[in-house]
Amino acid sequence: MPNAPTSSSFLPEPLAPPLAAAFAAWLGNLEHERRASPHTLEAYRRDVMQFLAFLRTHADEPPTLAGLGALKPVDIRAFLAARRRDGIESRTLMRQLASLRSFARHLEQNGLANASAIVNVRGPRIARTLPRPIAAPAARALTSAGTRDGEERAPWILARDSAVLALLYGCGLRISEALGLQRRDAPVAGKDSIIVLGKGGKRRESPVIAPVSAAIASYLEQCPWKLAPDGPLFVGARGGPLSPRIIQLAVEHMRGALGLPASATPHALRHSFATHLLGRGGDLRAIQDLLGHASLATTQIYTSIDASRLMAAYRSAHPRA
Q: Are 235 and 225 in contact (CB under 8 A)?
A: yes
Q: Are 187 and 203 in contact (CB under 8 A)?
A: no
C-alpha 139/C-alpha 144 separation (Å) is 9
Active site residue 199: yes
From the list 106, 270, 271, 276, the catalytic residue is 270
Active site residue 238: no
Active site residue 293: yes
Q: Are 158 and 199 in contact (CB under 8 A)?
A: no
Residue 203 β-bridge partners: 197
From the list 106, 148, 276, 293, the catalytic residue is 293
From the list 140, 199, 204, 253, the catalytic residue is 199
Active site residue 132: no
Active site residue 302: yes
Long-range interactions of 79-86: CB distance < 8 A, separation 24+: 79/7, 79/51, 79/54, 79/55, 80/121, 80/123, 80/124, 82/6, 82/7, 82/54, 83/7, 83/8, 83/50, 84/124, 86/6, 86/7, 86/8
User: Closest by alpha carbon to 265, among 131, 137, 160?
Assistant: 131
Query: CB-based burial of residue 307 (10 Å sphere; 0-12 exposed, 13-18 middle, 19+ buried)?
Result: exposed
Active site residue 219: no
Which sign does the torsion angle of CA 259, 170, 128, 41 carry? negative
Q: Are 215 and 163 in contact (CB under 8 A)?
A: yes
From the list 83, 160, 174, 271, the catalytic residue is 174
From the list 267, 271, 276, 315, the catalytic residue is 267
Q: Is 242 in a helix, a strand, or coil?
A: coil
Write out the catalytic residue numbers: 174, 199, 267, 270, 293, 302
